[in-house]
Each structure stands twice: as structure tokens, then as C-alpha cells.
A and B are shown apart, each in its own frame.
Chain A
Amino acid sequence: MQKQAIFQSKLLPYALVAPQLAIVLIFFYWPALQAVIQSFLLQDAFGLSTSFVWFDNYIELFKDPAYFEAVVRTFFFSFAIAISSLSFALLLAVMADKPLRGSMLYRTLLIWPYAVAPPVVGVLWIFMLHPSLGVISRYLRAAGIDWNPLLDGNQAAGLIILAAAWKQISYNFLFFLAGLQAIPKSVFEAAAIDGARPMRRFWTVTFPLLSPTIFFLLVVNIVYAFFDTFGIIDTMTRGGPGTSTVTLVYKVYSDGLLGGNLGSSAAQSVVLMIMVIVLTGIQFRFVERKVTY
């Protein structure tokens, strides 16, 4: 079997990959390059002159305690979102994996939230939890809880984590369900005969066998929490109150577009870019090694 395609003309293969290359170059490499260049420049307050400042933007950035706070916050958000979303999705998947009546409907409904765009997710949760508009907020206040995420930074952070985790449950659920269904039923049956009760069966058989899926999803979820939560944050809190929900991505946007500090914003996006490359690298390395047990 010849696996390599043979082309008569030398140009044809290039012509065939050209559209893809053009997209990647125009929409990825070019802006990325722009960001790198921008990160070495400093503009005056009125945008009249630009000077080349070498690594000043980066040095400034790493000295800034607000940036350090955003880094810590972003990591905290990411792990909180990833872990809560993963554990809840796994619970749902384990339950959906049982041969229940109407399980197809149940599964389909669980997958739907994935089709909802992040800003819409934000709006949805605002309707439920906005201090003056929210349905649930009324009950919370009635129950004597001082619920006001517009003023309380911790509550705002909790809200973001909740909404972002909710959005990601569907995706995780889908992978977990597929992962569970890839395990032969007889392995669970053997464990049942071997005297393992359901909880023990889960921790000694299901969980280890799902570990490759769990690891893959952990990376995907962290990347998601890093970047795709922008829409949710922007619609729900705009980084507030104060800076209590400003993540790295939101800081790039607010410093650059709202604050006008393009140099620092560009430097931040370059740092983010490096983080993504590292995360993706880790993911590829482990996904390539499919079996980790």
C-alpha cells in the first residue's frame, strides 16, 4: 500500500494547502507577531509617538503586584472550574451510563449546554443570581444570606466559577460517557463478583481506567478556564467588583482596550501565548501516550 500521495505537478500540493496556510498566517501568526512587536513598544498617552523600549513592558509587568494577583487568581479560577466541572460531569456520566429508561433523552439534555455561547451563559446566570434581578437571589436574601456579588468579590468569584463550570459540564460529560462505555461491561461485572461494592468499584476500577480521559479533560478544562471564560466574565462582572474577577485574559483586554496601555497588554498576551504553548505541549505528550495505566 502506497501511503504517500503522488502529485504530477510540484505546485499542486502547495496550492491545496494554501487556503489553510493563509488562514493560519493571517489570523494567527500575523496577530501573534503584531503582539510580540507591540510588546517591545511604548506609546505616549495621546498615541502620538511610539518608542522601542526593549523588555521594559515585561519588566514593568512582572513588578506589578496587580499582575501577580491576576496570575494567582487565574490559576485558582482554572483549578476551581476544572475540578468542580470535572467531578460533577463524572458523577452525571456514571449515572447516565446505567441502562435506564429514557437515558437517551437524559444524555441529549445534558449535552445541550455545550451549545450555549459563553456570554449567553453569563446572561443566563445573571437572570438567576443578579442581586436585584435574580430569581435565586430573592430566595437567598429571604433565607437571610447577604447575597450581593456586585459588591462582594468572593461571591462574584464564586459566581464566575459556577457559571464557567456549568458551561463545561456538557463537554466533560460527553468524554466521560464515551470513556465509560469504552470499558467492557464484564470488567465491572467481574469486580461485582469479586466483592467490590459500588463505591469501591468506582475508585478501584472505574476511576483508574478513566484516568487518561480525566487527564486529557483536565488540560482542556484549564485551557478553557484560562481563555474562554472571557465572555462570561465580561457579561457578568466586567472584572469587578474592584479587580476581584480579573483574570489574565480579562486583564489583557482591560489594560489594552479600556486602559489604552497597548504595550503592557501586548506583553501580557505574549506571556499567555507561552502558557498555552506549554499546556498544549503537555497535553500532546500525554495524549500521544494513550494508555497511562
Chain B
Amino acid sequence: MANVTLRNVRKTYTGGFEAIKGVNVDVADGQFCVLVGPSGCGKSTLLRMVAGLETVTGGEIDIGGRVVNQIEPADRDIAMVFQNYALYPHMSVYNNMAYGLRNRGMAEAEIKTRVEEAARVLELSAMLERKPRQLSGGQRQRVAMGRAIVRQPKVFLFDEPLSNLDAKLRIAMRVEIRKLQRRLNTTSIYVTHDQLEAMTLADVLVVMNGGQVEQVGNPLAIYEKPATTFVASFIGAPPMNLMSTRPDEIKSQLGGAAGEAGIVGIRPEDFVITDQTPAGGVALPLTVEAIERVGAETFVYGSREQEDQRVAATPGELPPGEIIVRIPGTEAPAIGQKIRVAAVRQKLHLFSGDGRKRIEA
């Protein structure tokens, strides 16, 4: 049981590349923290620094009140689940789980108890004598989990543990991991690039981009009030529609403090197709370009009359001028049809012109 605190953590590689540019995160005891961001944002590097697999070139990593910068991975009292599971291919499932305990000189009887308990929880009891190559992807994943939990460490670290599984299994394992973590109540740090995984797992969500933290907080709070345009477009699928404001169009309708805003963001689900313009809200004329029906909901891709309205690309970007509207059910306008969509004032997200600051008005 421990909290994990990162204080102004930096990583600069020899050669000058700055992978982590000063990260501050506080994970309280028993919390599930998810680091999310596009590939290359430094989230895995940061996790590996917590594990002790990468050196820290600046700042402090504190696990359970002890600065661990100079401490070997083995002595940090952490366990890690790797993306490729990193099971020992020559050892049986039992030995894979027992290895870490044997290295610490635990009595065989105690090891047996712990491994069998973990195997029972993870439904691996029938497979203890098998080698990793005789297991399916999901089973290997569970062995990797088992190897972590038998150690009863202070902190679990997960490095994209589900990305090698197929979609269905991924969802099932996601739920399993959350349940297991709740029950063991062990502080966990989990790295993923999948924003859905991040949203569903996290107590604390850390959105990273370019080696920096964009926003830290409760997932829903981040969803509702993204701090930057990067977070706005990264969290939520399909991404938030971002438009630069122009006096003649949107800005005049908003007024007040909102007048400073350079960018307006509207989530696809916050649009309604209507001929009316809500008071203080915005309305956009669109030409329907494409329709995606996924059953419970339908996505309408429309182009705006005026081009060049979109902000420069961030992850999950759409081509300039394109707006996504999410409507429930399967009723949708025809392709080529001209429609008008509107969003109420409360559903507008306003950002400064460079997208780095959220404006509340």
C-alpha cells in the first residue's frame, strides 16, 4: 500500500532529446491512475522510470514516502505487467509466478499457497504445469497478472497490457483488471493509448502529449471540461469538433468573456439537427457528406459552407471543414442534403487561440 508521487520528473536522453519535460502527478494509495496519450508522448517511458527500467534525469519519483530514483527495480516493491507479457518461456505457469518469490527467498510452502490462490482468482488452476507457449493470448495475459499479484507489491505497473488481445477479450480483461484492482486495493499505474480503456479504468486520468502532462483529473471531469484542445480531441470518440471562431459567425453570438476565445469545441453528441438557433448557442449549416450507422447511434459527417474553419491537426483529426454529429438511432439525413445543426451555450467548450488554455465564461 503506497502512494506514488512524481515531482517535476524529467528524462533527457544523451543526444539531447527530451522525452519527459517535467511531470507532476500524485497517485493516492489504492488509486488507479491511467497515463494516456498518443504514441511517442512519453507515457511508457514515464512508467518505465517508475519501474526503474529507465534512469531519471531530473526530479523525484516517490513511492510510499521513499525517493526511489537510485533504487534498483527489484527493491522498489513494484510489479509490472508488460505489453508482450514477458513470461519466461522455459518455465511452467507455476514457476513463472513463483520465480519472483523464490528470488526473494520465500519458503516453498508459502509460495505454493500464494501461487495457488492467484491461480484460483485468475482461473489458471488447471494450467499451472503448462508452458507459456501452450497458452492462448488471454491466458498468457492472466499469467502475467498472476506473476504481479503473487508478489503483493506496493504498486502495480501496467504497460499497455491489453493491446495484444483481440477486441472482445480486451473488454473482458479490462473489466477483470478493474475488479481485481478494486479488490486488492493496490495502487496502480496503467499506460494505454486507448482513450476508452483510459476512461473506463481510471480513478485519476493523466493525459499526456509531447512529454508533458496536458491534464490530470477524474476521467469524467476531464471529459466535461478538457483543459486544452489536445485533451478535447483526444478524450472522447469520435473527437470533439474544433472550430476557430470568427467575429462574423460564432463570436458575435457568444459575447462577454467568451469573446476572447479563439477556438470553439463542440462534442458530436451535443449537436442536434434543428432549424432553430438556441439562445446563446451556435448553429451551423452543413452539407451531409457521409453517414456511419453503428446501430444504437449514427454519425453524420458534414462539411461546413465556409472552409478553413478547422484548427490545425491534433490526434483523431478530421479534414478541415468537417463536422461530426452524433445522433441516436438510425434515422439520418440523406447524403448531399443540407442540414442545420445547433448546440446550446452550456455545451460549448471555449479555448484560447493557441488551444493551450480553456476559457470559462
Name A residues whose Cβ lies closer than 8 Å to a Cβ of B: 184, 186-187, 189-197, 200, 204-205, 208-209, 211, 291, 293
Contacts and interface: CB of A to CB of B under 8 A. Distances in A.
A195 B72 CA distance: 9
A205 B88 contact: yes
B23 interface: no
B100 to A, nearest CB: 4
Given A192-B53, A195-B74, A187 B100 contact: no
A187 B53 contact: no
B63 interface: no
Nearest to B151: A194
14 contacts: A184-B86, A186-B82, A186-B84, A190-B86, A190-B87, A191-B88, A192-B52, A192-B72, A193-B52, A193-B79, A193-B100, A194-B147, A209-B89, A209-B90
Per DSSP, are chain B's interface residues mostly helix, strand or loop, or mixed? Answer: loop
B241 to A, nearest CB: 39
A196 B99 contact: yes
A205 B89 CA distance: 9
B318 interface: no
Contacts of A211: 90
Interface in B130-168: 133, 147, 151
Interface string B54-97: 00000000000000000011100011101110111110000000
A208 B99 CA distance: 14
Contacts of B86: 184, 186-187, 189-190
Contacts, number: 63
A190 B88 CA distance: 9
Contact of B99 (A184, A189, A191, A293): A191
Contacts of A200: 103
Given A184-B84, A187-B88, A191-B88, A204 B99 contact: yes
Contacts of A193: 51-53, 73-74, 78-80, 100
B104 interface: yes
Nearest to B105: A195
Minimum-distance CB pairs A-B, first 5:
A194-B100, A293-B90, A186-B86, A195-B103, A190-B86
A243 B348 CA distance: 96
Nearest to A196: B103
B89 A194 contact: no
Q: Which of A192, A194, A208 has the most CB of B within 10 A?
A: A194
Contact of B82 (A190, A205, A293): A190
Contact of B80 (A184, A190, A197, A205): A190
B82 A194 contact: no
A141 to B, nearest CB: 48
A207 to B, nearest CB: 10
A200 B99 CA distance: 11
B103 A194 contact: yes
Contacts of B78: 193
A186 B51 CA distance: 12
Contacts of A197: 74, 103
B103 A192 contact: no
Contacts of A293: 89-90
B82 A189 contact: yes
Given A186-B82, A196-B99, A293-B89, 4 more contacts: A192-B52, A192-B72, A194-B103, A195-B74
Contacts of A187: 86-89
Contacts of A184: 84, 86
Q: Which of B52, B53, B79, B83 has the most CB of A within 10 A?
A: B53
A195 B89 contact: no
Contacts of B51: 189, 193
B50 to A, nearest CB: 11
Nearest to B76: A193
Nearest to A188: B86
A41 to B, nearest CB: 53
